[in-house]
Structure 1
């Protein structure tokens, strides 16, 4: 009986040490950095995350969607460490709600918007005031991100308004949940033309750039980045620095982004 009590005490003591060891193990040790990034960043950021793993031994996992959807997910408590938006407005949205660490915010990248065609043999289009885009569309639709929320859609609408084209095509717009979804509509031949980022067009061999929108026809395309307010990941700051490093810059530029200096 005495021997049984001894082993029972020993077992309890061992279990207590095990639980104590678990309790005092840093919760963030080896945890993946979770990145919420605009859909247009997928190709470049996938390559950057591979390099981050090779250089640091750490892991980064990215969730890609429209900046609007990602910002709202963060607002609702989604566990993200880093947010990279395709426009300033959605980063401002989170900043106003104290959901990012303000001192980690910076402007990371720039981009251009282009008109893409599903037809690899399509003629070049000069994008200027008076362009008969409705005529080019015929009975088809103009694929673009949702113009009230998706950054690429907002940039596209602003450009079409500035050029006086919007009233002629407003009823022909096929609004998509993200810029990559809009790109897919064109690539699959479900829409004859679409407005996407230059970088998206370069990532899909199924489309051809028909024309590039003048830079002064829309607000500057800026991608800001920041660590989220709720992040407790010890690797988040190091990952952010890597994303802003010369090595990452080369990978962004290879996809057609411009890197903020």
Structure 2
């Protein structure tokens, strides 16, 4: 298969996987709290929404995509009550547009980025200054979320630049629309290596962590959350508060996130 064909195949898979995820919990009822959240939160937020429904009887509609795509949808008037971004930049974008309810914003979670490979891969690498990423890729490509807009891709590119290896691999990056799409490329062995959040790697048994990126190689990974100014559901603030509860804390930590905001 030619290099062009391989890249086309990789990107085609990423585009399919990169569509907005609608949770099976999504409710048609008008009284559901609608949450727009970064794709890396897909599994854990589904669990927390289920807990919320059991405890309150109330529904949550979950919509997942890259933070950049969600921020633009909110700007264009998409009906959402709550936004959880995978970085500060896209929450700042929404807030500067006057779309965040005053006083509702909170830094909710932290995460880490890792280099992954298919679970049966024999690759062994220690991430550091000038590490041999390009030669380890061989004829393959590096799966990453969009490096210009999607937080996981931005963090990954920043780390590779800081470590002095970006120039050697930038022409061999298969860019996906969100981090879960990048994860899928490696999970399917369509790419030999990828950069995703540690929590994504933990959620997929078909991949393994090769190594963690040093935390000082990229900006701190922070997930801010906020109620949106035009939220139509009065329970939006209550669900945001629930995301900081002990039950949610247990869910987030079990998934591998660092909890930055919590209530007792």
User: TM-score, structure 1 length as denominator?
Assistant: 0.87
8 Å Cα contact 1:95/1:102 also seen in 2? no
Name 2:246's counterpart in structure 1.
246
Name 2:215's counterpart in structure 1.
215
Q: Spell out structure 1 runs of 4+ moving beyond 6 A.
A: none
Residue deviations 1:3-29 (CA, integer Å, cap 9, x gap): xxxxxxxxxxxxxxxxxxxxxxxxxx9
Name 2:190's counterpart in structure 1.
190
8 Å Cα contact 2:117/2:123 also seen in 1? no
Q: Tell me how large the CA RMSD over aligned residues is.
A: 1.1
Name 1:200's counterpart in structure 2.
200
Where 2:64 maps in the other structure, the secondary structure is: strand
> How far, CA to CA, are the matches of 2:188 and 2:123 in structure 1?
19
How many residues are paired up? 233
For structure 2, the residue ranges without an aligned partner over 5 or more in a row are: 1-28
Name 1:7's counterpart in structure 2.
none
The answer on 1:51 being equivalent to 2:57 is no
Residue deviations 1:93-124 (CA, integer Å, cap 9, x gap): 00100011131000000000000002424243
Larger radius of gyration, structure 1 or 2?
Answer: 1
Deviation at 1:195, TM superposition (A): 0.1
Name 1:114's counterpart in structure 2.
114
User: How do 1:1-261 residues align onto structure 2 when only pairs under 5 Å count?
Assistant: 31-261=31-261
User: TM-score, structure 2 length as denominator?
Assistant: 0.86
Where 2:103 maps in the other structure, the secondary structure is: helix
Where is the helix percentage greater, Structure 1 or Structure 2? Answer: 1
> How far, CA to CA, are the matches of 1:51 and 1:147 in structure 2?
34
Where 1:114 maps in the other structure, the secondary structure is: strand
Deviation at 1:232, TM superposition (A): 2.2
8 Å Cα contact 1:102/1:226 also seen in 2? no
Residue deviations 1:228-248 (CA, integer Å, cap 9, x gap): 111021111111110111110
